[in-house]
Amino acid sequence: MNMPENSINIKEELKNLIELQRLDSEIYDLESEREAFPGRLAEMDSSLEGKKSGMNSAEEEMKVLQVKKNEKETDMQEKEAKIRKYEADLYQIKNNKEYKALQQEIDSIKADVSLVEEDIINLFDKIEEAQTKFNEEKRIFEDERSRVEEEKAQIKDDEQKLAARLDELGARRTAFAAKINPEVLIQYEKILKNRGRSALSPVKGESCGECNMHLRPQVIDGANLRKELVFCENCSRILYVED
């Protein structure tokens, strides 16, 4: 696909287009970098939330164990109070059969108290383990939060610098694009819109430097002559021969 140019200095226009593409390529890369910032922030928030979830789970486990321990301690206190009452009642019982029955009840409650005491000791151990786990999860969360805050601050700084650079490049592009023939610029920008980062491609041997498609001899000759714009028949980029 060739484009006849009657009053246009194609050699000069290609030189300008190559410089314009350098600007556009940098703008494209910086904009791509800026578009990646929200994703990076989301990843950091997700990572922090994961660490927070681990800490909260460990804290919840510790609270559940503490509640169980408190319930066991309350149960033991009630049983011990009942033992004290029954032991006081023993002195008032005259019937041997009733005395024996109450003593058996006291012994049974004391056996239950021993089991409850054992449960409480086990719960103390579990609470200590849960506390250690919580402390570790909290440390991990705090470390992650510190890291995220630092990275977010860096991203904010990078965004500001990137925005300033894009403003600078945008102004330079506007000024430079004004030097290019409007017909040529329209062709260039149409291709750039479709191709993203580059609208021009150097001829590499017998191939297009961007898509690597083999070029017909007539196309290569046209690119060498620089009398009209020559396009790659595959990717439609404007072809040029590097000096």
**This model's pTM is above 0.75:** no
Cα–Cα distance between 110 and 86 in angstroms, integer? Answer: 11
Tens place of pLDDT per residue across the chain (243 aa): 444 445 679 999 999 999 999 999 999 999 999 999 999 999 999 999 999 999 999 999 999 999 999 999 999 999 999 999 999 999 898 899 999 999 999 999 999 999 999 999 999 999 999 999 999 999 999 999 999 999 999 999 999 999 999 999 999 999 999 999 999 999 999 999 999 899 999 999 999 999 999 999 999 999 999 999 999 999 999 999 987
CATH 1.10.287.1490 fits 30-179, yes or no: yes
Tokens, residue 190: 């149409």
Q: Where are the alpha helices (DSSP H) in the chain?
A: 10-90, 96-177, 182-195, 217-225
Cα–Cα distance between 10 and 228 in angstroms, integer? Answer: 6
Q: 240 - beta bridge partners?
A: 202
Domains in the chain: boundaries:
30-179
